[in-house]
Structure 1
Amino acid sequence: MTAPGARQRSAPNRVLPLSKVEPSPLVQHQTLLENNCMDGRQRMLTAFALKEADHVPVSPDISAMVPVRLAGKPFDVMFLDGQPHYGYASASVAQAYVDAVKYYEMDGWYIYGGLPEVAPPDRPRWQTHFERLPQGGQMRYRKAQTPSGELTARTFYPTGEPEWEVEKAIKDLRRDWPRLRALMGEDENWQWDTSGGFRDRERIGNLGVYSVAIGIPQDWWFFQRHGGYESTTFDFNDEETYMCEVFEFYTRYALARLKAVLAAQPDEIMLGGSASSLSASSPRNFRKFDLPFIQKAARLCREAGVYSHLHVCGRSRKVVEMVAEETEVNVIEPLEEPPGGDVDIAEIKKCYGSRVCLKGNLNTFDFMLNATPAQVEEKAKRLIDACAPGGGFVLSTGDQCGRDTP
């Protein structure tokens, strides 16, 4: 069914390329289907297009923890490698992910892409220094002087797990937001260097899809706001009008970045919404703060012929309904099952499988850690039986497999 006032979904207005070589993408795609031979990128893009590939794409969310474990180096060394990198994590973590794709012979979902932002010389900037800690790991200290005052933040990089924020930038909402806004560029003269395209695109090549992650509003705010969900909940309820102004500014910034990224033609845009999960937020807040942004972003992606891909972990059943019925998003994941989530993926396939590609949903924090290989295989087969017919399905996991997943 379609919600009142919802627009009918439409496919991107041009054919998405499945290869960089001749013959044309459409001809090559048909040839690959006939010959039953696809690479990881083509297989994933075929599923995103709601079609059946040579076989079901298999792309578990291993993100950073499993790849870094396989690399055999300390996490802080991998995340703080000092190499140029313009997306999620670091160049070393991104390479470790590609190495893991090869090791497991899976279809890649490279979420580490990005472009360098070009900031005017007079814009305030973070000044950064690092301290090696006696117990191991490193602490990153950041400080910025703005016209409204000083902003500070600290991030801990352990040796055995990914980093976590010890001190986030926004401690006092009305005092610190003008300072962060100055850092982001309150003159709104935002530019990104698109001249060289994506400088790391060849890292993943045809092993998988190249994605650039852009946070949706609640998720972005969580990573700025000290005090975590407790503070963000008070912000949304006690300072709703002010937060609408904050999110209006962020929306202009994020959509400007999105337009620059789309000009460089990634395979997809990953709209990051981990902290927008209904395990922590509410359907009301998602509809008010996130849905309008997703609608605008997905429309821009469609107009550019690039797939849009929403990530909301935890409880997300009502999110799926809103997004499938009221936006042009092409892919939704990880569609987590109970107890971490509330999604019956077989039901979602019946309701929305003709509108949106589904990616998920083997539980990561219990099942993937503790199940036997035979149990994983049996459950994967049940997911394929329920969701693969007709295409538009990527066999995957819930949110990121833990470091010690066998």
Structure 2
Amino acid sequence: MTSKQRMLTAMKNGKPDMVPVAPDISNMIPCRLTGKPFWDIYLYDDPPWWEAYIRAVKYFGFDGWLFSVPIETDGDRKGLEDQPAWREAIVARTSERIYTRRHRTVNGREEWEETCSVYYIADPPTVGVPPAKVGLPSTPPSEWEDVCKRTTYTGVEAFHAAQRMMGDDGVVALSVHMPGLAVWNPDSIYEYYDNRDAVLERAREEHRLILRRTKEYLELKPDLILIGASGHMLANPEPIFRELSLPTLKEVTSLCR
């Protein structure tokens, strides 16, 4: 069996020729194998993180399992048609860190996100950081440098590129999520009890978006659809999960049968 056949057989509860070997090498090993600063991969897409993973799969010779590829479907683009595009800009740097903030032009004026991202030379980035926590002013910067990606894939090109690169050495997935409370944002938990109707309406909107996106993903024929839920139950115990998340989980799995 090829690695791809082995993984798919195991995922379908079949009997592969051997137990698939797919260690969780996260981002540390793929990024280090490139020999480049981590910000090259995560900020400049040189190479994109998913390509670094595929290279690591081929380097070590194990069974590949790419959990997702960043793409933008036609439906995604339509949803953003009337909105100003966000751009990422470098606002500060040191020998070991690059600090960025996102901005967009609204009615001729620059609008800046309140948080920043920190890209490290030898670690994955941290996002959603208050500028004051890293010694930066919270006010809009007076000088900045817009980030120019060194590799660009538009639409769903990245998915097709990942399929070609992976070949028979593993499987390539596309991922969707579920509505629910955010474990990384305690305010979302307070909001559930203080403004429950707003949370339920947002969950319904998310549900519709996720189903639309799942249908578009299925047209691309990925090896599998992954329903990402890392840490989900920490903020969504059973009663909340049944209310906010389970309806989406049921419909997504039904679409994938």
TM-score by length of 1: 0.51
Number of equivalenced pairs: 227
Deviation at 1:233, TM superposition (A): 1.8
How far residue 194 of structure 1 moved from its aligned partner, in angstroms, is: 6.1
Give deviations 1:355-384, integer Å, cap 9, x for gaps.
xxxxxxxxxxxxxxxxxxxxxxxxxxxxxx
Q: Secondary structure of the residue that 1:50 maps to in structure 2?
A: coil
Structure 2 CA distance, aligned partners of 1:155 and 1:197?
A: 25
* Stretches of structure 2 lacking an aligned partner (at least 5 in a row): 131-153
> Which one of 241, 245, 251 corresponds to residue 207 of structure 2?
251
Q: Which of 25, 28, 33 pairs up with 1:70?
A: 33
Q: Deviations over 1:85-144 (max 9, x none)?
A: xxxxxx532122112212332111012324333425433321321234225222221134
**In 2, distance between residues paired with 1:229 and 1:257?**
24
Are the aligned partners of 2:70 and 2:159 in contact in 1 as well (CA < 8 Å)? no
CA contact (8 A) 1:140 1:154 kept: yes
In structure 2, the CA distance between the partners of 1:114 and 1:260, relative to structure 1 (3 Å rule), is farther
Q: CA deviation at 1:46?
A: 0.3
- Is 1:270 matched with 2:226? yes
Equivalents in 2 of 1:132, 1:259: separation in Å?
41
Mapped to 2, the partners of 1:239 and 1:69 lie a distance apart of 45
Q: 1:167-186 CA distances to partner (integer Å, 9 max, x unpaired)? A: 48xxxxxxxxxxxxxxxxxx
Q: Give the superposition deviation at 1:273.
A: 0.9
Map of 2:98 onto structure 1: 138
Q: Which runs of 5+ in 1 are unaligned?
A: 1-37, 84-90, 169-191, 223-227, 303-406
CA contact (8 A) 1:115 1:198 kept: no
What letter corresponds to residue 200 of structure 1 in structure 2? Answer: A
Contact preservation (8 Å) 1:75, 1:162: yes
Going from structure 1 to structure 2, the CA distance change for 1:127 and 1:114 (only over 3 Å counts) comes to closer
Cα deviation per residue 1:199-230 (whole Å; 9 max; x = unaligned)? 331111111111012222237x55xxxxx342
- Among 108, 121, 128, the alignment partner of 1:159 is 121
Write the letter of the residue equivalent to 1:212: L
Contact 2:116–2:127 (8 Å) recurs in 1: yes
Instruction: Please tell me whether the aligned partners of residues 91 and 100 of structure 2 are also in contact (alpha carbons under 8 angstroms).
Output: yes
Shift of 1:66: 2.0
Q: Taking structure 1 as reference, are residues 45 and 81 closer, same or farther at Cα in structure 2, changes over 3 Å only? A: same
1:93 aligns with 2:54: no
Structure-2 residue corresponding to 1:58: 21
* Aligned with 1:81 (options 20, 29, 44): 44
Provide the identity percentage.
Answer: 29
Is 2:82 the partner of 1:122?
A: yes
Is contact 2:101-2:112 (8 Å) kept? no
1:294 and 2:249 correspond? yes
Q: Is the 8 A contact 1:112 1:211 kept in 2?
A: yes
Q: Alignment RMSD, CA only?
A: 2.8
Which residue of the other structure, out of 263, 267, 283, is the alignment partner of 2:238?
Answer: 283
Amino acid at match of 1:136: E
Question: How many angstroms apart in 1 are the aligned matches of 2:2 and 2:40?
Answer: 32
Out of 112, 130, 145, the position equivalent to 2:68 is 112
The alpha-carbon deviation at position 285 of structure 1 amounts to 2.0
